[in-house]
């Protein structure tokens, strides 16, 4: 367990904040705009949130950008979202690299257009050694899919005889998840008033504090992040133990 969260101490700032960015569509509809306008405004909120994390001492930010279930949206909206991601990554990577932000992606490759796969691999490579903020973008990500992929990889090793069934423990599973090497999220924020995890970081969220913000994602800013962090700091994290 990390020393920053020893029992009885005042809760420190979260090191790893993960966000389910929800409400782009409703934000747009309430303004009589097409849904893509909400996603574009959502990309601005991403920019603000990265800056706010750096200012508030958060070292890891993970954003749920596109879920494995989002393919069920109308083809136009899926195309718009892929186009926006393409545009955003191309446009922002140099500036984020200058700011010392390392950009990583979690999720499945299957189904993503080849040029996006190449873009994300190039981006990861370019920003690999940066340490001011680790930004992880969950793209074509679903937690159950991630766990199934980890289970398949273990099953293959057991079948090959390179792993004994008795060696399948929590650490063996964690090592095969997309988030290998990352700390678990301390705080998970979902915007727009919805209160569920929607297949996001189910394994990693075992001890995360969940904060549900009423703010629609395109309106999310430093003040909204600060308010979620304040709520997190008022909570007492016990990791299954009791306090004295």
Enzyme catalytic residues: 22, 70
Residues forming a β-bridge with 135: 61, 103
- Taking every pair of Cα atoms in the chain, the longest distance, rounded to a whole number of angstroms, is 59
As measured in angstroms, the least distance from the Cβ of 223 to ligand FPP is 18
Query: What residue ranges bind ligand FPP (CB under 6 A)?
Result: 21-26, 39, 42-43, 46, 63, 65, 70, 84-85, 88, 137, 192
Least Cβ distance, residue 85 to ligand FPP (angstroms): 6
**Among residues 43 and 187, whose Cβ is nearest to ligand FPP?**
43
Nearer to ligand FPP, 46 or 182 (CB): 46
C-alpha to C-alpha distance for 148 and 107, rounded to whole angstroms? 12
Choose between 22 and 178: whose C-beta lies nearer to ligand FPP.
22
Describe the strand order of the beta sheet including 101-106 as a list of residue ranges.
101-106, 133-141, 60-67, 16-20, 187-190, 209-212
CB of 20 to ligand FPP, least distance (A): 8
User: How is 70-123 classified by DSSP, letter by letter?
Assistant: GGGS-HHHHHHHHHHHHHHHHHHHHHHHHTTEEEEEES--TTS-HHHHHHHHHH
Q: Are 66 and 105 in contact (CB under 8 A)?
A: no
CB of 55 to ligand FPP, least distance (A): 19
Q: Which is closer to ligand FPP, CB of 67 or CB of 204?
A: 67
């Amino acid at each position: 367990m990390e020393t920053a969260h020893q029992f009885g101490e005042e809760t420190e700032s979260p090191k790893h904040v993960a966000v389910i960015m929800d409400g782009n569509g409703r934000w747009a509809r309430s303004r009589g705009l097409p849904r893509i306008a909400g996603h574009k405004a959502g990309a601005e909120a991403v920019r603000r949130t990265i800056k706010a994390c750096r200012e508030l001492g958060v070292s890891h930010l993970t954003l749920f950008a596109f879920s494995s279930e989002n393919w069920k949206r109308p083809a136009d909206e899926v195309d718009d979202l892929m186009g926006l991601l393409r545009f955003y990554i191309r446009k922002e990577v140099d500036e984020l690299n200058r700011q010392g932000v390392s950009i990583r992606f979690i999720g499945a490759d299957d189904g993503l257009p080849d040029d996006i796969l190449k873009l994300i691999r190039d981006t990861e490579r370019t920003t690999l050694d940066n340490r001011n903020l680790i930004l992880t973008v969950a793209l074509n990500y679903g937690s159950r899919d991630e766990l199934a992929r980890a289970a398949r990889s273990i099953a293959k090793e057991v079948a090959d005889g390179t792993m004994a069934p008795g060696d399948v423990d929590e650490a063996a599973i964690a090592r095969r998840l997309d988030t290998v090497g990352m700390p678990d999220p301390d705080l998970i924020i979902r915007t727009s008033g919805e209160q569920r995890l929607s297949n996001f970081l189910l394994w990693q969220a075992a001890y995360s504090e969940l904060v549900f913000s009423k703010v629609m994602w395109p309106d999310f800013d430093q003040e909204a992040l600060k308010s979620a962090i304040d709520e997190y700091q008022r909570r007492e994290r016990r990791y299954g133990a009791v306090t004295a």
